[in-house]
Amino acid sequence: MRYSGIGGQAVMEGVMMKNKDTYAVAVRTMDKKIVVETKEYKGICPNKRIQNLPLVRGVINFIDSLVLGMQSLSFSASFFEEEDEKNLTEEQAKKKKKKDDAAMGGTVALSIVLAVAIFMILPFYLSRLFANLGWSETLIAVAEGILRVLIFMAYVVGISLMKDIQRVYMYHGAEHKCINCIEHGMDLNVENVKKSSRIHKRCGTSFLFFVIIISVILFIFIRVDSAALRLLIRLALIPVIAGISYELIRLAGRSEGKIIGALSKPGMLLQRLTTKEPDDEMIEVAIASVEAVFDWKEYVASINNETTP
């Protein structure tokens, strides 16, 4: 059985899993039931040749993840509406959905702008303060990289302290544990998932860490006199950085080599903050999401057959 790796995201009281062109969102509702929605999503670029181009596929995958994340979050949030919102007429419900979708899109767009401002532009301008101390451009670039890493780490630590985010991180842990359970050839049930690791090489947290590190390395070698042009080049390189980072994540997911293992280590350590141990009910939600898009029984059987002497 050909396996390219299922991927997922944690959402509000739920988990989204994607396998090829199909994704499913499983949500634990307020009455403790599990609701699963399965849909097809071919991505922003349906052309398979372009989808598989090295570097380009990383940018496409990143945008697709944002789109799917927004759709999945909107679906999960619909189960936690106020009581008066549930009594709307069909016409009112349609208008509300359009309004909510627009608000969600605006939120995602604002989040991207803020992310670029905080993790790209802010470290750049803060590092320019060292020019007044007579530092060389190389030292200033290194300082910019250190500031970028520190700001990113402070952000991750800060949001991990929020109660609501901690529940999302528990679902994030359930997602990882389910994927690890399958990839290690174990039957997908609560007990086996509980024994599996919540750390995974292909995690989005590791991707973001690679983005930060690759940006630090590339920006050190940018040598132009104009500060405005240096900033413009940094912004223009964001898609390139995303593409390189995605290729490293793919390589890490397939390789057990020492070099790749060492490169993956910081991002995997960071996952100890962005994932938490889930409870049994969260694991059940993640299992429901997996089973909606992937025949894990066939895959686990194929693994065990390959390893049987």
d(CA 264, CA 259): 9
Element (H, E) at 42: none
Query: Is residue 83's pLDDT more than 80?
Result: no
Instruction: Say if CB 148 and CB 212 are below 8 A apart.
Output: yes
> Which stretch of 147-151, 164-168, 258-262 has the lowest confidence by average pLDDT?
258-262
Instruction: Say if CB 54 and CB 244 are below 8 A apart.
Output: no
Determine the pLDDT at residue 98.
76
Instruction: Say if CB 238 and CB 120 are below 8 A apart.
Output: yes
d(CA 23, CA 8): 9
**CA distance readout (Å), 274 to 74, 170, 171, 173, 193:** 21, 9, 10, 8, 18
At 226, the amino acid letter reads S
Q: What is the pTM of this model?
A: 0.86
For residues 222-228, give the mean pLDDT: 82
How high does pLDDT run on average in the chain? 87
Supply 297's token pair. Answer: 């029984």
Closest CA to 3 of 190, 198, 202, 177: 202
Confidence category of residue 48, pLDDT binned at 50, 70, 90: confident
Between 285 and 306, the higher pLDDT residue: 285
Q: Which residues of 291-305 are buried (b: 16+ CB within 10 A; e: fewer)?
A: bbbbebeebbeebee
> Which stretch of 2-6, 64-68, 188-192 has the lowest confidence by average pLDDT?
2-6
Residues 110-164: tens digit of each pLDDT: 888 898 899 989 999 999 899 888 888 888 888 999 999 999 999 989 998 888 8
Supply 234's token pair. Answer: 């940094």
Determine the pLDDT at residue 1.
40
Determine the pLDDT at residue 230.
87
Determine the pLDDT at residue 25.
96
d(CA 259, CA 153): 23
Determine the pLDDT at residue 81.
66
Between 169 and 84, the higher pLDDT residue: 169
Query: Is residue 79's pLDDT more than 50?
Result: yes
